Amino acid sequence: MKSMSSCCAAALTATALLGAPAQATETGLQAWAKVHEVFSHPRCANCHVDAGGVPIWSGASYGAKPRAHGMNVQGGASRIGAENGLLCTTCHAHHNAGLPHGPPGAHVWLLAPVAMQWWGKTSAEICAQIKDPARNGGRTLAQVAEHVAKDELVGWGWNPGPGREPAPYSAERTAAFIKDWAGQGAPCPPP
Ligand code: HEC
Ligand code: HEC
């Protein structure tokens, strides 16, 4: 009984501090909208593709319409192109090529796992999967934020090489949006 009443008192205090739950949801959804703006940006979504394993070329520097990666590149189930013998690292080096339309580069270069597909998914779908440890690499939301703040490959999205528009905001600000969203109960938009 004692622990139950302290639990509920704490919950009431939290509600009083945060204001009405509806307001918290609204603030949380606004934070999610910023996270989604980044995750759905071409610099991120081009690699977070479906089981077909074809990286996408999209964004202003690739022309008006998204298209499949040129040269018949396929990531396959390995996500590194092992199946057809043309590895990503044949062209993608550890650094961006110095000229527009040269291959971008980072310390590693491969497609995200199929469970982390964002390309072609709605905001609600990406929101649900990012909260699901079975589909986010076994991470808490604090660890997702940490990954965005620190991971070098994610960081490439803000340093994508000549001619490509970087993802919006910054790694640090995106991590902060994730923390804000998580702090408001990580609400997802309706499907
Ligand atoms: C070159 C391909 C590539 C690009 C570009 C890329 N990612 Fe990823 N992403 C990956 C791979 C591979 C993983 C799996 C690594 C892991 O889980 O440790 C991953 C995993 C993630 C995860 C953790 C899993 C999840 O879905 O919750 C997040 C968050 C993430 N990426 C964010 C981003 C953001 C933000 C950008 C753009 C700024 C981006 N990524 C751009 C390949 C990419
Ligand atoms: C034959 C060389 C070659 C191979 C192999 C290759 N790429 Fe690329 N890739 C390129 C070039 C060149 C570009 C940039 C084209 C441009 O900017 O117009 C590029 C661009 C990309 C982009 C777009 C990045 C962005 O958002 O601007 C992604 C994603 C990508 N490659 C993923 C991969 C993956 C994953 C593999 C392995 C499965 C791979 N590539 C294999 C040459 C290659």
Q: What confidence tens digit (pLDDT) does each residue in 122-133 have?
A: 999 999 999 999
Task: Confirm or reject: Cβ of 183 under 6 Å from ligand 2.
Answer: no
Q: What is the Cα–Cα distance from 154 to 148, expressed in whole angstroms?
A: 6
Instruction: Give the model's confidence band at 14: pLDDT under 50 very low, under 70 low, under 90 confident, else very high.
Output: low
Per-residue model confidence as pLDDT tens digits over 105-144:
999 999 999 999 999 999 999 999 999 999 999 999 999 9
Nearest to 74 by CA among 54, 93, 90: 54
Residue 1 belongs to some domain of the structure: no
Looking at the domain assignment, is residue 149 inside a domain? yes
Confidence of residue 4 (pLDDT cuts 50, 70, 90): very low
**Does 108 sit in the ligand 2 pocket, CB within 6 Å?**
no
Residue owning the nearest CA to atom 16 of ligand 1: 137
- Core vs surface per residue 157-175: b (16+ CB within 10 A) or e: bbbbbeebeebebebeebb
Q: Check if the beta carbon of residue 87 is closer than 8 Å to that of residue 80.
A: yes
- Structure pTM? 0.92
**Hey, which of 34, 96, 108, 116 would you mutate to test ligand 1's pocket, going by the most ligand atoms within 8 Å of its Cβ?**
116
pLDDT in tens, 36-50: 999 999 999 999 999
Domain span including residue 31: 23-183
Average model confidence (pLDDT) for the chain? 92
Q: Count other C-beta atoms under 10 Å from residue 47's C-beta.
A: 22
Residue 50 lies in a domain: yes
Q: So what's the pLDDT on residue 18?
A: 56
Could you give the maximum distance between any two Cα atoms of the chain, in Å?
A: 68
Judge whether 7 lies within some domain: no
Domain count, the chain: 1
Which residue has the least CA distance to atom 15 on ligand 2?
101
Residue 4 included in any domain: no
User: Is 103 inside a domain boundary?
Assistant: yes
Task: Flag whether 102 is in a domain.
Answer: yes
